[in-house]
A and B are shown apart, each in its own frame.
Chain A
C-alpha cells in the first residue's frame, strides 16, 4: 500500500490554470475509475471536488476538472482564485484498500 505520487507544490497567479498530477499503478489509479480529488484546509473537513475521475459533486464549480491517462490522474483548476490556496489530495480505490496521494500545496501568487 504505497501512497500515490503528487508534486509537493504548485503555484499560479489569479486567473491562470494549474494542473496537479497523481501517479499510481495499474492496481489502483490505472485499474479503476474510482479516482477522486479533495481540497483540504488544515483543521477543516476535506471537500470532495472530483469523483469517478471526471465528475463533480453538486455545487463544485466547473473550474475544477479531472482526467486520467493510464496510471496518472490529473486535476486542473482554471481561473485561479485566492480561495483556491489549499492542500489538494488525490485518492484511488485499490481493490481492498484506499490510497491517498501525498498531497499538493497550491499557492496563489
Chain B
C-alpha cells in the first residue's frame, strides 16, 4: 500500500528557512518522479517543484525558483524540500505526491498524495 508522509512544517519568520521531508513506503521509491504541491489558505492548488526518479532533473515554479531546492535520497525513500528566504505568501499546506509513471522524467499527475504538512510564515 502506497504511503507518503510529510513532516517538517511549522511556524517561521519571514526570511527564515525550513526543510520539509516526505517519507515514502509501499512502492519502489527510486522508480518514480516526485512532486511538491501546496495550497495557501483560501487559494487553489499550486505546483511547487518536481524531481525525476534519478534526481537528474529538477524543475520549479517561478514563484519559488532560487529560494527552494528539491532533492531526494533514494536509499532512504525520502523526498526533501529546502525552503529559504521564506515570505508570508509561502504560508500553505505542502503536499508531496508521486508521479504517475515509473522511469519517466514526469508527466505531472499523481494518484498518490500525502496528507500534507503546514508551513506558516509570520512575524
Interface residues on A, range: 20 to 34
What's the dominant secondary structure at chain B's contact region?
A: strand
A40 to B111, Cβ gap below 8 A?
no
Query: Number of B interface residues, CB 8 Å?
Result: 24
A45 to B116, Cβ gap below 8 A?
yes
Q: How far is the CB of B46 from chain A (nearest CB, A)?
A: 6
Cβ of A61 under 8 Å from chain B:
no
What's the dominant secondary structure at chain A's contact region?
A: strand
Given known contacts A45-B95, A101-B44, A96 and B107 CB-to-CB distance under 8 angstroms: no
B47 to A45, Cβ gap below 8 A?
no
Partner of A93, one of B61, B107, B113: B107
Give 10 CB contacts A-B under 8 Å. Answer: A1-B62, A45-B116, A46-B113, A89-B44, A91-B108, A93-B108, A96-B59, A97-B62, A98-B35, A98-B108
Give B contacts to A, CB under 8 Å: 35, 37, 44-47, 50, 59-63, 95, 100, 106-111, 113-116
Give A contacts to B, CB under 8 Å: 1, 3, 34, 36, 38, 40, 44-46, 48, 51, 57, 87, 89, 91-93, 96-103
